[in-house]
Amino acid sequence: MEYKREYREIGFRVIFSLNPITNTLAFAAQPYEQMLDTELNNRPEVFLVRGRIGTGEMLEVGFKDFTFEMTVDFHRRLGELYEVVKEEYRNTVMKKT
């Protein structure tokens, strides 16, 4: 199951993909300031941050192209993104098990 959420308070669009067999929640996140091409804004394969969270709330994260400006605000928002993804995992995977 795949679905999209807008987190305006931290400036990210996140597309989640739930695998009920492995109880893994994968995600692709794009900061709003990176959304320059409206055609690419809904294609998770080009999003900046990708990862997954599974058993034990272990989070794995990767960054596309590894080059972006790391400001204090962006660093803070990445931390908040981590909390959002953990909460989504708890609300989707943990409630079903």
- Is the Cα dihedral 24, 79, 7, 32 positive or negative? negative
- Listed by start position, the domains of the chain span 2-94
Report which of 13, 51, 52 is spatially closest to residue 32, judged by C-alpha positions: 13
Q: What is the pLDDT of residue 87?
A: 94
One pLDDT digit (tens) per residue for the chain, 97 residues: 899 999 999 988 899 999 989 999 999 988 887 766 667 667 777 778 888 998 888 888 887 765 566 688 888 999 999 999 999 999 998 876 6
Record the pTM: 0.74
Q: What is the dihedral of CA 15, 34, 40, 38, to 10 degrees?
A: 110
Q: What is the pLDDT of residue 36?
A: 66
